[in-house]
Amino acid sequence: MRPEAATLLLVSAMLLALIIPPADAAGPPEHANASSRAVEAVKEVLNRGPADAPGQNKDPDAEEERTENAAPLPGIWAAVLVLVLLAGGSAILLRRLKKREPDTCRTVVSRPTGFPPELADRYDRATFIGRGGLGEVFSARRRDDGQVVAVKVPLARDEVTGRAFMNEMRFLEDLNHPNILAVHSVNILPVPFVEMEYLPRTLNDLDKPLPPETAARIAAGIAAGLAFAHERGVVHLDIKPGNILLADDLTPKIADWGMGRMVETGSDTGVTGYTLAYAAPEQIAPGRYGRPDTRTDIYQTGAVFYELVTGRPPFADGNLTGLAEAILNDQPLPPPAFDRIILRCLEKDPANRYLSATELLDAILAAMKGAGEP
């Protein structure tokens, strides 16, 4: 108990002791000498019916007895006094607490929730950036050289998440390309984590629509990064604006391979999912269109390209059910630029899209050079 509260209770107890005299077997002093005549008078009042109107004859002796015994009980006043003292003391205590220095009442957290304390020797100034399919990403400063980097750690420390996170690490180790987010190091000790280059912006941060030339240059960079990954047997399966980071010169860099998998072996990260607004038909209805593969990345690149030149995804209206049905059955409105390239990427049947990311890249570069859209 705080000292202020203890003092207040002690004062209240002392005042009660002064006000309330000790009781004995004869009862309260006010009633110790009550006569039988007074008791009878009280009974008469209680038994009086509604017909007894004011001004009727009354026994003066009984009236005097009632007057003498009508003194207020001191216990009531004592209780009121205690309540007043407690209320006033509580108000004083609250004011004193509010006036204290903030440091005495606040716990300062040196690291954000979720950032492993085991990495405190390597990094400081960790700040939460975002959460992906497998992990959380933080910006942090390396203690040895002061460089700001991105650090990705698993969302949970269970076996399934750990295995999926390790699979993603294997993907990242082989993906060294200007249009793929650079990985500085991959470690499992003291905890599993990946250190990557830090880029604060994504395509979500750009005002859209973009000039057609800028949109085409970004789409070409995404296609180039995907072509490199596909040649090494890795598909991304979650291309969307939030997973495309931007360098200062707007060079796009593909990030977050948590949903990806190896094409030839069929092994994946163990996490299945997609962002519906950019999902390919085969991700929604694999029974109709087959299993997702490299052409899924081409569809999603087309959806991002569409948004860059129009300011919105190809299908963006309605609830989730309506959105899924539109992706499976509807045709998007033609975009104002690069429409033949974009609409071919967005074909429902994967066989009607570009056969590879390299073919898509060549088509975008040709159109940019003025050779006409294919």
Which residues carry out catalysis? 238
Which amino acid is present at 47? N
Which amino acid is present at 28? P
Residues 6+ apart with CB under 8 A from 118: 190, 191
Residue 258 to residue 235: CA distance in whole angstroms:
10
| CA 366 to mean position of chain CA atoms | 43
